[in-house]
């Protein structure tokens, strides 16, 4: 199957924990000039498969089980050659959009609410080396660019690893459990926990949990 303008098919990898959604995305993409060369249901699988398969575009769900979509993106864009990462998200919050495009290094941010038809436009754009933003997300980025003196939000100051630690804490993980999940020492996990309290101006672990829920780092249910 030929890609856009009769060229080679765009090699795409899908990373999402919902099999039904992956199947729908794959069917749609392969009808529109792409070839899906790999799939992943967890963040760890996505990282491993991307390093092995080297897709042109990695469609990455923001809320991937495990490390999380942003942490995987942060690692994947350092590969050589690096896939272009298109974040697929249910959230249009400024914190998510800015972190995905700046700290994590994603090339695009597509809202699930935009519908599957917009996916091919996003994939084609990022595969061509361009940036892609959902129409409803674009004003967020433009507003930030037009107001550089507004400064970074607190969440913007967190690294992808810190954000993932916060997500795990929000899910109730202890420092030992965080360490096991991320492959770091319990001491390092505890350091991350204390740094998060300092950066977010919080006092207790319970405060961190409430913060994670309030800012939708985790879902309350």
User: Which pLDDT belongs to residue 221?
Assistant: 53
The pLDDT of residue 220 is 56
Positive/negative CA dihedral, 146, 94, 59, 163: positive
pLDDT at 149 over 50: no
> Domain boundaries in the chain?
4-146, 158-214
| pLDDT in the model for residue 217 | 83
Q: How confident is the model at residue 40 (pLDDT cuts 50, 70, 90)?
A: very high
Domain boundaries 158-214, corresponding CATH code: 1.10.10.10
pLDDT at 2 over 80: no
Closest CA to 156 of 168, 147, 146, 144: 144
More confident residue, 64 or 36: 36
Mean pLDDT along residues 15-29: 95
Q: Which residue has the tokens 């997500």?
A: 167
Fold for 4-146, please state it: Rossmann fold (3.40.50)
Query: What confidence tens digit (pLDDT) does each residue in 162-195 have?
Result: 888 999 999 999 999 999 988 888 888 888 888 8
Which residues fall within 8 angstroms of residue 25, CB to CB, at 6 or more apart?
Answer: 14, 16, 36, 59, 116, 119
Label residues 196-215 b or e (16+ Cβ within 10 Å = b): bbeebeeeeeeebbebbeeb
Predicted confidence (pLDDT) per residue in 93-148, tens digit: 777 788 888 878 999 999 988 888 899 999 999 999 999 998 878 876 766 655 54
């Amino acid at each position: 199957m030929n890609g856009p303008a009769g060229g080679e098919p765009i090699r795409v990898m899908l990373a999402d924990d919902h099999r039904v959604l992956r199947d729908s995305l794959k069917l749609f993409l392969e009808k529109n000039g792409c070839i899906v060369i790999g799939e992943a249901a967890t963040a760890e699988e996505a990282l491993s498969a991307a390093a092995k398969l080297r897709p042109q575009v990695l469609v990455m769900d923001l809320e991937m089980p495990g490390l999380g979509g942003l942490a995987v993106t942060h690692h994947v864009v350092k590969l050589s050659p690096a896939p272009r990462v298109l974040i697929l998200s249910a959230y249009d919050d400024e914190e998510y959009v800015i972190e995905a495009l700046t700290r994590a290094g994603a090339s695009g941010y597509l809202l699930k609410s935009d519908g599957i038809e917009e996916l091919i436009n996003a994939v084609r754009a990022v595969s061509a080396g361009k940036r892609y933003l959902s129409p409803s997300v674009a004003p967020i980025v433009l507003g930030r660019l037009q107001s550089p003196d507004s400064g970074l939000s607190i969440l913007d100051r967190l690294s992808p690893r810190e954000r993932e630690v916060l997500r795990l804490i929000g899910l109730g993980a202890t420092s030992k459990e965080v360490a096991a999940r991320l492959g770091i020492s319990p001491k390092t996990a505890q350091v991350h926990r204390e740094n998060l309290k300092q950066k977010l101006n919080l006092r207790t672990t319970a405060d961190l949990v409430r913060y994670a829920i309030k800012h939708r780092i985790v879902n309350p249910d």
